[in-house]
Structure 1
Amino acid sequence: MTDQSAAPDATPRPLDHLAAMGAPDALALVDRAGALSFTGLDRAVGALARALDGRGLAKGARVASWLAKTRLASLLPLACARAELVHVPINPLLKRGQVAHILQDSGASLLIAGAGRSGTLEAGDRPADCALLIEDEAGAASLAAQDGLPASAADPDALAAILYTSGSTGRPKGVMLSHANLWLGAVSVAHYLRLTADDRTLAVLPFSFDYGQNQLLSSWAAGACVYPLDYLTARDVIRAVDKHEITTLAGVPPLWVQLAEADWPEATAGRLRRITNSGGRLPVPLVHRLRQLFPAADLYSMYGLTEAFRSTYLDPALIDTHPDSIGGAIPFAEVMLVRPDGGLAATGEPGELVHAGPLVAQGYWQDAERTALRFRPAPVFSKYGGMAVWSGDTAVMDADGLLRFVGRDDEMIKTSGNRVSPTEVEEAAVATGAAAEAVAIGVPDDRLGEAILLVVRGDPAGEGALRDGLKRDLPNFMQPREIRWRADLPRNANGKVDRAGLKAELTS
């Protein structure tokens, strides 16, 4: 249980110890397979860890999972940690080409997936040395070992997970997270959200996101219960909140737009004690609407990035007077605004958001070049020092010491709570054969944060084939809202497509 009267414990522990944070008989997980107490959770984690260990995987081997929010998906983060394996959760919305890249890049020794998803993989997508375990009745039985592994004695600095996130160029890159990163992140969030053992979290976000996985981890750190939900409509979420008497709900802006437009019974809306947002800014009118809709709930506006976890949050008491603020640093995080000359930005002066402290990830998996660009020594005025994440994002601090997000310096597209690499969309467009060249840019959208506008060089008669190919190869959140055809694309002095100029032209 989270003690709000004292500072959170900064001592990192092996991640699988979260299974013992609640009262033995208290509920920890309720899903379609039934209910698990914390005693049951610890036993299930131990049994799954024993089964994984029995497959002969080397310590530190990567275990990839491409799953919906099943019982297995919920247990794997802790079970892999207990077996001293590295968990690589894959977004269930991704398509075969992206999954193939993650399997190859991570060097996964095992892929756990449902029959439907695994059946979409083609020859060569799964490396020859990567075994496949189908999540069906037989697969579940093979993982149901009776004599479970006990709590681990893993080094908190050891690698526990690799979460893949899109980069501004090229394919998704794997962010390396240690036991300490994940443990302290769980403790931090449980503390500032004021989670207690009688809270019930509805987990609607994908477990492949750090924000989504933390729904599990922070709840368990507080001794609270999680209810995983794969939803289709806002109504599904409302029914689950009512049925399970949910107190805590995390979302991204597009989901909050849907939920704000839905018909909430007053009693159901009143069940929520806290709602949280990250993955993009909530428009001020939406903040006001959520405050009206959920008057009994604290609204937490937050900011973060996978490389540095959840960096800031705004005290809910300030949301009405500062609806466009992202607040200040969460426990165990240090957030600084740095001028281009390396100095500390003054109040009202824009600066790059730089993150330091024990929540900073270990870099990108087997990618020293990109690691060196994003992970650099902390500024000399940092209290933590060491390696810091230089985000490329710009913010400004107001007179009250609160941060306001200004913009993203790189070319990432932030849509539906997802970071989308424009290069990945462009490569998929050209691969269809319908586009000679393509440029994907983000344009403002009230519902999505940003929508994808695809500008292509080619014959407009091929738009049907282009859209069909994109729907085949990319998930829904990467589909362009609009496609514009041109005979040629603007170039800069180096002969490259003038992406910045094109974006300025189309968004002005």
Structure 2
Amino acid sequence: MYLDRTHQHLRVGERYYTPDTLPTSEPANQDAALVNFLRTWWSDDEYMLVQTSGSTGAPKLLRVSKARMMQSARATCSFFELNASDTALLCMDLRYIGAMMLVVRCLISGMKLIVQPTRSNPLLKLEEEITFAAIVPLQAREILRDPTTKNKLSRIKYTIIGGSSLDAELEHELSTLPNGIYSTYGMTETLSHIALRRVSGTDTNPYYTPLEGISVYLSDRGTLCIKAPLITPEPLETNDLAELLSDGRFRILGRSDNIINSGGVKIQLELVEEAIAQLHTAPLALTWRRDQRLGQALILVLEERGGQDKTQLLGSLKSHLPCYHCPKDIIYVPEIPRLANGKLDRKALERIANIEKY
């Protein structure tokens, strides 16, 4: 692999970039953002600025080591055995770590890069055969809605999906595809993902497997801690509650800040969402409403698709769930609110539940 930046090159379709052949002026084509990234990457500065998604707070800029970015890219390339005979698809915004890391994987492995505009369905105009792609859940949903692009996705050898968790409906659709599709676990601070789990074909798995050189453990409060010395200089404690197996694989149970206290019972929203998703197919989310008796009452927010009325559905849930996991009310909305990266917008859900009754 090419871990010396001065010896790297990048094939972009039929174009070829090296540190010595970058255009001095900004290209008029879709390579403009890519060329700006390469200028920064091949500069003498050993660090670069990366913007976080803002999903857990205000977006911020992080100063990250290029050498550590290459080590993260090396781990992914080794896992999928990617090399110069392969072709990767870039279809995300290069301001964010997910897109940056895809380019870095091409730089160290020699993979050819195909660039498509950042759009909800990036496969619409794709004609090339792709070995490796990285997308977000929002893009995956749009791709699956179109039979033509769904077929294109099924022909990509490996696709990783990151940026937010996969809901049950999306994961079920992906499981019907035969190729290698993986959910990623990671964050900007870990320079993209540190673990993968397969969600397609017959080898689906609810547990993430850490990449080579990475280990995880649980903190005293049950949150996942990451030890990745080649990627992050110090162990990193996350806010994700997890179940850890003896072989190092893990399953995310939910965020520690997504726990509500309803009548003295602590409820992990993601775990209950997962249980309800097994009973109801419409996109859904849980939130809470201020309640004089319970403090926080559990509220189910559903995309309006017709069918079961509220009373009937609440009765059905009571017959399948523990009493403290049963929502106290249901709110129907045209669309579940999400952040730009596809994650549930928990703050918007709280606002919906706490305004005057519908």
Counterpart residue number, 1:390: 237
What SS is found at the alignment partner of 1:325?
coil
1:43 partner amino acid: D
Within the candidate set 193, 212, 226, 1:331 is matched to 212
2:194 partner amino acid: S
1:333 partner amino acid: I
What SS is found at the alignment partner of 1:161?
strand
What SS is found at the alignment partner of 2:125?
helix
8 A contact 1:18–1:221 mirrored in 2: no
Q: How does 1:239-250 map to 2 (within 5 A)?
A: 239-240=125-126, 243-250=127-134
Counterpart residue number, 1:114: none
Counterpart residue number, 2:159: 275
Q: Displacement of 1:182 after TM fit?
A: 1.4
C-alpha separation between the residues in 2 aligned to 1:388 and 1:353?
A: 7
Within the candidate set 95, 116, 124, 1:208 is matched to 95
1:73 partner amino acid: A
Counterpart residue number, 1:405: 252
Q: Deviations over 1:198-234 (max 9, x none)?
A: 2222211221221121121112322111122125453
C-alpha separation between the residues in 1 aligned to 2:287 and 2:20?
A: 45
Could you say if the C-alpha distance between residues 484 and 285 of structure 1 is closer, same or farther in structure 2, counting changes exceeding 3 Å?
Answer: closer
C-alpha separation between the residues in 2 aligned to 1:276 and 1:481?
A: 28
Asked whether 1:36 is paired with 2:15, we answer: yes
8 A contact 1:202–1:226 mirrored in 2: yes
Counterpart residue number, 1:160: 48
8 A contact 1:453–1:483 mirrored in 2: no
Of structures 1 and 2, the one with the larger relative CO (CA 8 A, separation 6+) is 1
Q: How does 1:4-403 map to 2 (within 5 A)?
A: 13=3, 16-17=5-6, 19-20=8-9, 28-30=11-13, 35-37=14-16, 40-45=17-22, 47-48=23-24, 70-85=30-45, 158-166=46-54, 168-169=56-57, 171-234=58-121, 237-240=123-126, 243-264=127-148, 268-293=152-177, 295=178, 297-309=179-191, 310-314=193-197, 316=198, 320=202, 322-327=204-209, 329-340=210-221, 350-360=222-232, 387-398=234-245, 401-403=248-250
8 A contact 1:304–1:311 mirrored in 2: yes
Q: Higher mean Cα deviation, 158-167 or 174-183?
A: 158-167
After TM superposition, where is structure 1 displaced by more than 4 Å over at least 4 residues in a row?
316-319, 441-455, 474-483, 485-488
1:204 partner amino acid: C
Q: Deviations over 1:47-74 (max 9, x none)?
A: 55xx79xxxxxxxxxxxxxx99931211
Q: Displacement of 1:244 after TM fit?
A: 1.3
8 A contact 2:214–2:226 mirrored in 1: no
Counterpart residue number, 2:330: none
Could you say if the C-alpha distance between residues 351 and 180 of structure 1 is closer, same or farther in structure 2, counting changes exceeding 3 Å?
Answer: same
Q: Deviations over 1:268-323 (max 9, x none)?
A: 45531111122222245533432423x2x212222001111221123x49974553
C-alpha separation between the residues in 2 aligned to 1:166 and 1:337?
A: 25
Q: Displacement of 1:450 after TM fit?
A: 6.2
Count of equivalent residues: 288
C-alpha separation between the residues in 2 aligned to 1:400 and 1:334?
A: 10
C-alpha separation between the residues in 1 aligned to 2:148 and 2:125?
A: 9
C-alpha separation between the residues in 2 aligned to 1:307 and 1:69?
A: 31
Q: Displacement of 1:487 after TM fit?
A: 7.9
State the TM-score, normalized to the length of structure 1.
0.48
C-alpha separation between the residues in 2 aligned to 1:198 and 1:72?
A: 25
What SS is found at the alignment partner of 1:230?
coil
Could you say if the C-alpha distance between residues 394 and 263 of structure 1 is closer, same or farther in structure 2, counting changes exceeding 3 Å?
Answer: same
Could you say if the C-alpha distance between residues 449 and 219 of structure 1 is closer, same or farther in structure 2, counting changes exceeding 3 Å?
Answer: farther
State the TM-score, normalized to the length of structure 2.
0.65
2:91 partner amino acid: V
1:282 partner amino acid: L
Q: Deviations over 1:78-99 (max 9, x none)?
A: 31133335xxxxxxxxxxxxxx
C-alpha separation between the residues in 2 aligned to 1:230 and 1:447?
A: 30
- The percent identity for this pair of structures is 17
C-alpha separation between the residues in 1 aligned to 2:84 and 2:282?
A: 34
C-alpha separation between the residues in 1 aligned to 2:243 and 2:68?
A: 27
Could you say if the C-alpha distance between residues 454 and 317 of structure 1 is closer, same or farther in structure 2, counting changes exceeding 3 Å?
Answer: closer
What SS is found at the alignment partner of 2:52?
strand
8 A contact 2:223–2:256 mirrored in 1: no
Gaps of 5+ in 2: 260-268, 291-338
Q: How does 1:462-501 map to 2 (within 5 A)?
A: 480=348, 484=352
What SS is found at the alignment partner of 2:235?
strand
What SS is found at the alignment partner of 1:254?
helix
Q: Displacement of 1:359 after TM fit?
A: 0.9
Q: Displacement of 1:29 after TM fit?
A: 0.7
What SS is found at the alignment partner of 1:239?
coil
Could you say if the C-alpha distance between residues 230 and 290 of structure 1 is closer, same or farther in structure 2, counting changes exceeding 3 Å?
Answer: same
8 A contact 1:251–1:277 mirrored in 2: yes
Counterpart residue number, 1:104: none
2:188 partner amino acid: T
C-alpha separation between the residues in 1 aligned to 2:128 and 2:249?
A: 36
Could you say if the C-alpha distance between residues 450 and 303 of structure 1 is closer, same or farther in structure 2, counting changes exceeding 3 Å?
Answer: farther
